[in-house]
Every structure is written in structure tokens, then in C-alpha cells.
Amino acid sequence: MNKLGLGVIGCGNMGASLATSAATLENARVVCVSDVDEAKGKELAGKLSVEYDPDYRHMLRREDVEAVLIASPPFMHPEMAVAAAEAGVHVFSEKPMSPTLEGCDAMVAAAKQHGVKLGIGLVCRYHATHSKVREIALSGEIGKPVCMMVHRIGGGWGGVWVAHWRTKRAQSGGTLMEVNAHEIDFLRFVLGDVRRVYAAGGNYREKGIDYPDVTLVSMTFASGAVGSLHSSHVSAVGGYGGRLDGTEGSVVFPSTWGKDAALTIKRFDGEARTLPIADIKVPSPVAEEIRRFVEAVQKGEAPPVGGAEGRAATEVALAAYRSIETGQAVELPL
């Protein structure tokens, strides 16, 4: 099997995760990594036994770099994606796609203009809980999905996730993009396009950031369904879970992952059944999202998670921020 040559831009936590996952694939090979932080770049290059280049634009000129995995701070994604497209290199960008719609649009336009593929790293689509909830929603087992609630809450940035750019909404997109791009995409993955957003929130505890540390987001979907997201950095007891209610039944997932995590599915006319998340077998999610992107490039097909999905997550987050600022509901598209 021919292996697609990959370059990696950004050798922090996410870049390392993408690179080490890509190195396990049968259809791809990492050939070079790039980061302005020489220590991080050389460390990752050493682990993978590949070359290190401090200049990503120079790396893009390599003949063996056919696609690039971008894991830089979000505000840098558009510049790097456009440069890759101009070099004829396919692009896989970590979420959020960009903190602005202008950035998202520039990435899409460049990919189209230069005939390269654009994929976005909304990896939760490949996790067991997320994919199973969508499968149940589409199966008709609980009837027409009408209401979905998701919470992802915790105590703020800490440990390896501390970074100066995460304190600035203009650079990170704030929590609703840097973290909750996944949950917004999850809600869209199950319920479809969002048409109206109303949000409330503020900054209550994390004074070192310039965006809300608590947000409650209400969404109305084109299907007529409604959904909500609880995002928080001020929760001493954290959690990640939710529920989906349909016209004929419900599925509840109090914890999205963990050894005791399970789905409970019940129809109005039946008995409840429990499905441990550990029993839902899926490939390693990060490796799988890259494998499918590479496969799409090799087949000349659209990546399964592309620019439209990445842009939509950014748009919903921007609508939520606008709603908090104005106190009004926001209609989409912006």
C-alpha cells in the first residue's frame, strides 16, 4: 500500500498526538515535523525518527510532504492552511478551524482554488459514546430526536494545557471553540444544522482569560429540535455527559467515557437497557480520523469531516458569544 507522506506543524500536546497516531497507520507515514520551539520539535522528531524543520514553509516545499497535519494555536490555522494549499499540500487542521469565519472561509477558498483536500479534526465523531448516540438517533429506535443536552464542565486550564494563547479569545476562540467545538459538533452530528442560538454566561472566576468561563447555550435546529450545551471552567466537580430525548424514547449518557460509563436506552413502551461504553468497540479515534482523511486524499474524495463542519462549529460559538454580549437570540447564518 502506498503511504501518504505527512508533515506536522505544531509539536505540542495535540501535534504529538496526531503525529504518533499517524505513525501507526498503514496508509500514511510522518516524514517531518515543524515547530518554532526547537526543543519540542526535536523531541517529537526523535521519538518518531523523522526530520525536524523549524520553518513550516520550508517543510511544505519537500516533495515527500503530500499532506500536513496542523496543530498550532487556532489563530494561526488559516495562514498555515493557505500556505499549504498554495504549495499543493493537502490540509488536516485541528479544531477549532479558526476563531473567525473569515479565517474559515480563507481555508475553504484556498483548498478549492488549489485543488487540495481540507479536513478538520473533530475527533469526537469517532469516539464510542458520540458515534453510538448518533447511531441510535438515526436508527429510529427512540423516534424523532427532539431534545439533546450536553455538559462538559471542569475547573479551568491546568497542567499541560496551560498556554498564553489560551487566555485570549482572539487567539484560541475561547472555551466554546478551543474545547466545545467538539460538543457543538456533537449536537450538530446528531440533530443537524443550527438555525438559532441564545446564550447566557460570563466570567466569574478565571480572571486571567478574556472570555466567559461559564456559558449556557440554547440551540434551535432546522429540524425543529432543540439542544443545549453547558460549558464551564468553574466546576470543582467536573463532568462530561448528556442525554437525547425522542418522540418514542430516550438515551442517557451520564459519563461520556471512563470505566463505569454506560448508555441507558429506553422506549416509552419498553424496558430500559444498559450498554457499557467499554463494550462499544471503535478504532483509536485520533488514528481513525487521520486514517479516513488520508483515505479520502488517496481516493480523491471529500474528507468525511471537512471545512463546512469546522466552519459551522465556529459559527455557533460566535453566535453564542454575540448572544451573551447583546442579551438577544441570534439567527444563523451570521
Task: List pLDDT tens digits, range 34-71.
Answer: 999 999 999 999 999 999 999 999 999 999 999 999 99
The arithmetic mean of pLDDT across residues 319-325, rounded, is 98
Confidence label for 159 from pLDDT (cuts 50, 70 and 90)? confident
- Return the amino acid letter for 11: C
Per-residue pLDDT, 20: 97
| pLDDT of 124 above 90 | yes
| pLDDT of 1 above 80 | no
Per-residue pLDDT, 160: 80
| pLDDT of 157 above 90 | no
The arithmetic mean of pLDDT across residues 186-201, rounded, is 98
Residues 194-230 have pLDDT tens digits of: 999 999 999 999 999 999 999 999 999 999 999 999 9
Domain edges within the chain: 4-123+285-306, 124-282+315-331
**What's the chain's Rg over C-alpha atoms?**
20
Per-residue pLDDT, 46: 97
Whole-model pTM: value is: 0.97
The arithmetic mean of pLDDT across residues 3-32, rounded, is 97
Give dist(CA 154, CA 235) in Å, integer: 5
Per-residue pLDDT, 74: 98
Please, what is the average pLDDT of the chain?
97
| pLDDT of 325 above 80 | yes
Closest by CA to 121, choosing from 84, 81, 62, 162, is 81
Instruction: For domain 4-123+285-306, give the CATH superfamily.
Output: NAD(P)-binding Rossmann-like Domain (3.40.50.720)
Per-residue pLDDT, 156: 84
Closest by CA to 150, choosing from 172, 119, 121, 127, is 127
Residue 20 backbone dihedrals phi, psi, to 5 degrees: -70, -30
Confidence label for 161 from pLDDT (cuts 50, 70 and 90)? confident
Give dist(CA 288, CA 321) in Å, integer: 32
Per-residue pLDDT, 180: 98
The answer to whether 95 touches 285, Cβ cutoff 8 Å, is: no
Residues 243-264 have pLDDT tens digits of: 999 999 999 999 999 989 999 9
Confidence label for 15 from pLDDT (cuts 50, 70 and 90)? very high
Confidence label for 129 from pLDDT (cuts 50, 70 and 90)? very high
- Tell the CATH topology of 124-282+315-331: Dihydrodipicolinate Reductase; domain 2 (3.30.360)
User: What is 176-194 written as a DSSP string?
Assistant: HHHTTHHHHHHHHHHH--E
